[in-house]
Structure 1
Amino acid sequence: MLVLAAMLFAVVMVFIDQTIVSIAAPSIIEKLGLSSSGMQWVVNVYLLALAGFFALGGRLADVFGNRRVAVAGMLVFVVSSALCGSAPTGEFAQSWLVIFRATQGLGAALLFPAALAVVIAVFPVDRRGRAVALFFVLAGALTAVGPLLGGWLTAWSWRAIFWVNVPVAMVALVLTALARIPDARRPERLDVPGTVLVAAGVGLNVMGFQQASAWGWSSPATWACIVGGFVVLAVFCLYELRTHEPLVKLRVFCDRAFTADLVVLFFSVLAFVPVLFFASVYAQISLSASPDQAAFYLLYFFVGFGLAALWGGRILDKRGARPALRLGTALGCVGYTLWAGKLTDLSAHDQWPYACLAGAGIGLMFSPASTDAVNRAIGASYGEVTGITQTVRNYAAAVGMAVFGTVLTHVTTSRVAQTLTARGLPGGEAQGRARAIAEAITGHPDDHQPTGHGPTATAMRSAIQAIRMDFAKANQWVFYGMAVALGVAFLCTVLHPGTRVTGQVAKARENEER
């Protein structure tokens, strides 16, 4: 249990930073003068670094030992957190935050696969589903503290949301030292070209999605990045098939169940990580919620997630992954659809059952999909396969943030422009102000209300409540999009053959390369 506690404290920083920054986003935008697209990069570059370097983190864990890599990741993560909290004001603020959020993501990419591989290696395969589910539930429960903690800390200073990682990391390092975790190593060559190719491919691809809002979907630069990223990833796959000691053993994808797990994870995560950001911003804008109140709004989702995750682990151990994947994606699709329909009620009280249902769907399928994929590791390369699953997870999260962010900005601009035009603003001015409001997303639309008594000021003052509703309607597009992603995930569950990995099968896999 000491091992579980040590790794839990280590990875909780990774989970917390996916939610706590979302809560503080409006405050960071206001204090540092960032644009909405700039703030999305602060959020997204963390996910991008995770997606780009998770495969490397998993491979390093196998080669140098899980404990060593976990400790290295903790140190990189906590130093980067401290530097994020020390960001200067002025023109360099956005660049500073983006740089050190990226190194923070690199630290997390080293830490998480090593920590999860430790937990997986400790438990036998027949008990692994419940063990890993417990790991994710406890991590999720502590993550749920993130929004609450973020709301409280943001009221004091947004910088504290990064500095809070320092004491958490100290506890994790002490527990890791006391746990005396064994450090099995697999001495193999590191695949540096493969690492560069996968990081470049993911980076280019996500940049294209992220910048589509600014460059436009018809821009050659947008499609050059998106298509170029896919081309680089294709080159990566060809290189991996030909190298003797690859970063990723692609033959693991010959296992149909493994591939199905990853496809379902990809489409499900499109609706998982992004919702934490968009729901928080929606609460602070459309519901006029404070950061603390936005945190409680997100708790509805986490309650459903936590209650369902342990159930999913039990289903995995007794019946395999497929039943949990099917039920979870179906529940999630229904939950997101009903939640989206209630967003325009502008009442958190009316939405909580559907937010819980959405969270329950994600919680039910998330741990079984991840654990079943890892159980199918070749030669017990748990670090490597964990790196693959988490690369897919974080790549999907980055793509989801980029695509849904573009949708939100576009629909918000269109609706707000119509609202301002209806209140007497000329078309060109209305479009410009609508774009400014959509880009700012500070949670305080009245901050864009000009002072004075002219027609522009009067129109803006009369439009504030309508703008809040416009933003809620724009979010409906995002939440319905997430429901569609989960619907696709449900359809993809038919790819899973329904086979289980038993203790005997796992033992054979471990002996395969010995």
Structure 2
Amino acid sequence: MSDNGGAPGPGSAAGPRSAPNQSVALAAMLFAVSMTFIDQTIVSIAAPSIIDELGLSSSGMQWVVNAYLLTLAAFFALGGRLSDIFGHRRIMLVGTVVFVLSSVLCGCVPTGEVAQTWLIVFRATQGVGAALMFPAALAVVIAVFPVDRRGRALALFFGLSGALTALGPLLGGWLTAWTWRAIFWVNVPVAVVAVVLTALARIPNIRRPERLDLPGAVLVALGMGLSVLGLQQASAWGWSSFATWACVIGGLLILVLFAAYELRLRQPLIKLQVFRDRAFTADSLVLFFAMLAFVPVFFFASVYAQVSLSASPDQAALFLLYFFIGFGIASQWGGRILDKRGARPAMKLGTALGAVGFALWAGKLTDLSMHDQWPYAALAGAGIGFLLAPASTDAVNRAIGASYGEVTGITQTVRNYAASVGMAVFGTILTHITTDRVVETLQSKGVPDAAAQDAARSVAEAVTGHPDGQEPSGSGPVASAMRDSMDAIRLDFAQANQWVFYGMAIALGIAFLCSLLHPGTRVTQADQQVTADPRAAPAD
């Protein structure tokens, strides 16, 4: 008997395959990948509550966010290749199981000294599950839709999956009011729906048996991990530290070695020859610089709202909703521009609007008024909305001579590595500037330099800044000065965030320049037909 439209199993007679249900298959894959997008943002809202209950440091909390992004980036290419080799449906289901089990364990983290390590480890395994799931889910969508309907299906896939990122802050705010642990447990019912729909959709397990490039997978994971470690720890080690630069430069050199190694292989982990396509290179560069801002903005805007604006998690979620209103509306227009005129106009418009929006938003952060910022937050979101789906879809459509799994592995690796770098770099900037600003505030209150430095580092590490209105505990002149200076310290934190948001504006400005490199050519259905791989075969 054939399995969901796949090839007959060993010893069975060949028979007609059941056609997959395209609508159910698309719904199943969207439910699956929604977890990966929601988890990029949902933790940001709960960050102060997690820090408070588990006693995490600021850098530790950033690693809770970054562990997911980094492993997602480091293993995405491997996930794409495993999907090609062992079958898209099978790897998608394996990834879903790994992801949801990791989510449950994240929600069950014990308190005490082991808490930070526990949470980082299982956030990392969540990222591995997502890296297996996403490229396989995309490959399923491509496999079940014919060429003449594939463009609309891909636009819906990228558009909805990107928009689902908006659910993270909203769910996070609502669930955190009950318990922050529920932000991880919510993935369980979503995963169950995805698995049930996958079974109902009769999806064939298309595979392409080839050699797996394990050395390449190790090199890319090691290179990304080391480079982000150096950037992340720069706030603790210092930019003059040998360890900081050893990690950053060493990681980048390993990535160069990885590229040289891949170019020599007949069956590499990533076919880097696809970068010979100027349009694909432009798409990837735009995605890289845009993603420096897109995922980190949720973390930094959420913490800013809860520290500087004294907002509750629910209020912080509504603050981020301004961004997503702009994102949601613009993503629809961006899809239409892609269909009619190609990716280049949408990317140019999106990067320009994003750069202006983030710059104007940065200028309003020190007003300490949530409602005065909504036009600029919405403008920044609109910029990302215009470019995200067109750049991603155009890159996937250019999988000429390579599998969709491989090309998706490249683009998603670029996106998630950029998000990890953005979290690390902007987190370091925020910590340094917050420390400097708080030192100045405390010194103005007569606190000695050494005591001011110690207190400022504590504030920067705590990051929450007592957003619930509680005053710092303790007695003595330093504690008294801290209590008297809380309003000024909240402003200090807002000024530090200004540097972060101006950095995001610069990243979008660079993305605009990269969009000009795109030749403006469009991929036709005839071009997409070339991507059909004669080596691909259904499996059981």
Give the structure-2-normalised TM-score.
0.92
In structure 2, how many angstroms separate the alpha carbons of the residues matched to 1:108 and 1:5? 17
In structure 1, how many angstroms separate the alpha carbons of the residues matched to 2:337 and 2:143? 20
- Tell me, yes or no, if structure 1 residue 13 matches structure 2 residue 40: no
**Partner of 2:177: helix, strand, or coil?**
helix
**Partner of 1:270: helix, strand, or coil?**
helix
Q: Which residue of 2 aligns with 1:337?
A: 359
Aligned residue runs from structure 1 range 244-263, under 5 A: 244-263=266-285
Tell me the amino acid that sits aligned with residue 94 of structure 1: Q
CA contact (8 A) 1:201 1:229 kept: yes
Tell me the amino acid that sits aligned with residue 26 of structure 1: P
| Residue from 138, 157, 169 that aligns with 2:179 | 157
| Residue from 298, 303, 307 that aligns with 1:285 | 307
Tell me the amino acid that sits aligned with residue 108 of structure 1: A
| Residue from 519, 522, 538 that aligns with 1:500 | 522
**Partner of 1:283: helix, strand, or coil?**
helix
CA contact (8 A) 1:114 1:383 kept: yes
CA contact (8 A) 1:134 1:310 kept: no
Distance 1:227 1:379, change over 3 A: same
Q: Which residue of 2 aligns with 1:353?
A: 375
Tell me the amino acid that sits aligned with residue 359 of structure 2: T
Q: Deviations over 1:287-306 (max 9, x none)?
A: 10000010111111111111
Q: Which residue of 1 aligns with 2:97?
A: 75
- 1:91 to partner: Cα distance: 0.5
Q: Which residue of 1 aligns with 2:156?
A: 134
Identity across matched positions, percent: 74
In structure 2, how many angstroms separate the alpha carbons of the residues matched to 1:138 and 1:505? 25
Q: Which residue of 2 aligns with 1:432?
A: 454
Q: Which residue of 2 aligns with 1:48?
A: 70
- 1:447 to partner: Cα distance: 5.2
- Tell me, yes or no, if structure 1 residue 148 matches structure 2 residue 170: yes
In structure 1, how many angstroms separate the alpha carbons of the residues matched to 2:242 and 2:524? 50
Tell me the amino acid that sits aligned with residue 159 of structure 1: R
In structure 2, how many angstroms separate the alpha carbons of the residues matched to 1:481 and 1:370? 23
| Residue from 444, 460, 472 that aligns with 1:449 | 472
Q: Which residue of 2 aligns with 1:267?
A: 289
Aligned residue runs from structure 1 range 88-127, under 5 A: 88-123=110-145
Distance 1:73 1:503, change over 3 A: same
In structure 2, how many angstroms separate the alpha carbons of the residues matched to 1:502 and 1:125? 10
**Partner of 2:532: helix, strand, or coil?**
helix
How many residues are aligned here? 513
Q: Which residue of 2 aligns with 1:203?
A: 225
In structure 2, how many angstroms separate the alpha carbons of the residues matched to 1:328 and 1:123? 29
Tell me the amino acid that sits aligned with residue 172 of structure 1: A
- 1:124 to partner: Cα distance: 5.0
Q: Which residue of 2 aligns with 1:479?
A: 501
Tell me the amino acid that sits aligned with residue 253 of structure 1: F
Q: Which residue of 2 aligns with 1:216?
A: 238
CA contact (8 A) 2:465 2:490 kept: no
**Partner of 2:269: helix, strand, or coil?**
coil
Tell me the amino acid that sits aligned with residue 406 of structure 2: E
In structure 2, how many angstroms separate the alpha carbons of the residues matched to 1:443 and 1:137? 36
- 1:511 to partner: Cα distance: 6.0
- Tell me, yes or no, if structure 1 residue 243 matches structure 2 residue 265: yes
Q: Deviations over 1:429-484 (max 9, x none)?
A: 111101110111125166562334x3323211210111111111110000000000
CA contact (8 A) 1:26 1:443 kept: no
Tell me the amino acid that sits aligned with residue 273 of structure 1: V
Q: Which residue of 2 aligns with 1:391?
A: 413
CA contact (8 A) 2:451 2:478 kept: no
- Tell me, yes or no, if structure 1 residue 85 matches structure 2 residue 104: no
Aligned residue runs from structure 1 range 279-318, under 5 A: 279-318=301-340
- Tell me, yes or no, if structure 1 residue 276 matches structure 2 residue 314: no
Q: Which residue of 2 aligns with 1:466?
A: 488
Q: Which residue of 1 aligns with 2:13?
A: none
In structure 1, how many angstroms separate the alpha carbons of the residues matched to 2:288 and 2:328? 20
CA contact (8 A) 1:450 1:460 kept: no
CA contact (8 A) 1:370 1:389 kept: yes
- Tell me, yes or no, if structure 1 residue 231 matches structure 2 residue 242: no
Q: Which residue of 2 aligns with 1:491?
A: 513
Q: Which residue of 2 aligns with 1:178?
A: 200
**Partner of 2:293: helix, strand, or coil?**
coil
Distance 1:367 1:105, change over 3 A: same
Distance 1:402 1:27, change over 3 A: same
Q: Which residue of 2 aligns with 1:403?
A: 425
**Partner of 1:378: helix, strand, or coil?**
coil
| Residue from 166, 186, 206 that aligns with 2:188 | 166
Tell me the amino acid that sits aligned with residue 88 of structure 1: P
Q: Deviations over 1:261-313 (max 9, x none)?
A: 10111001001000010000001001100000101111111111111112212
- Tell me, yes or no, if structure 1 residue 33 matches structure 2 residue 33: no
- 1:67 to partner: Cα distance: 0.9
CA contact (8 A) 1:129 1:316 kept: no
In structure 2, how many angstroms separate the alpha carbons of the residues matched to 1:435 and 1:39? 16
In structure 2, how many angstroms separate the alpha carbons of the residues matched to 1:71 and 1:512? 25
Unaligned runs of 5+ in 2: 1-22
In structure 2, how many angstroms separate the alpha carbons of the residues matched to 1:130 and 1:443? 47
CA contact (8 A) 1:340 1:479 kept: yes
Q: Which residue of 1 aligns with 2:10?
A: none
Tell me the amino acid that sits aligned with residue 474 of structure 2: T
Distance 1:108 1:46, change over 3 A: same
Whichever structure has more helix as a proportion of its residues is 1
**Partner of 1:369: helix, strand, or coil?**
helix
Give the structure-1-normalised TM-score.
0.97
**Partner of 2:206: helix, strand, or coil?**
coil
In structure 1, how many angstroms separate the alpha carbons of the residues matched to 2:90 and 2:156? 24
Q: Deviations over 1:10-49 (max 9, x none)?
A: 0111111111111111001000000000111111010010
**Partner of 1:184: helix, strand, or coil?**
strand
In structure 2, how many angstroms separate the alpha carbons of the residues matched to 1:333 and 1:119? 33
In structure 2, how many angstroms separate the alpha carbons of the residues matched to 1:361 and 1:340? 15
**Partner of 2:208: helix, strand, or coil?**
coil
Q: Deviations over 1:370-391 (max 9, x none)?
A: 1111111134511111111000
CA contact (8 A) 1:130 1:313 kept: no
Q: Deviations over 1:209-231 (max 9, x none)?
A: 11111111111111111111111
Distance 1:414 1:26, change over 3 A: same
In structure 1, how many angstroms separate the alpha carbons of the residues matched to 2:161 and 2:527? 29
In structure 2, how many angstroms separate the alpha carbons of the residues matched to 1:15 and 1:511? 29
Tell me the amino acid that sits aligned with residue 232 of structure 1: I
CA contact (8 A) 1:128 1:371 kept: no
In structure 1, how many angstroms separate the alpha carbons of the residues matched to 2:339 and 2:171? 34
Tell me the amino acid that sits aligned with residue 441 of structure 1: V
Q: Deviations over 1:360-413 (max 9, x none)?
A: 110110111111111111345111111110000000000000000000000100
Higher mean Cα deviation, 373-382 or 266-275?
A: 373-382
- 1:135 to partner: Cα distance: 2.3
CA contact (8 A) 2:466 2:472 kept: no
CA contact (8 A) 1:263 1:492 kept: yes
Distance 1:110 1:44, change over 3 A: same
| Residue from 216, 221, 230 that aligns with 1:194 | 216
Higher mean Cα deviation, 138-147 or 106-115?
A: 138-147
Tell me the amino acid that sits aligned with residue 341 of structure 1: G
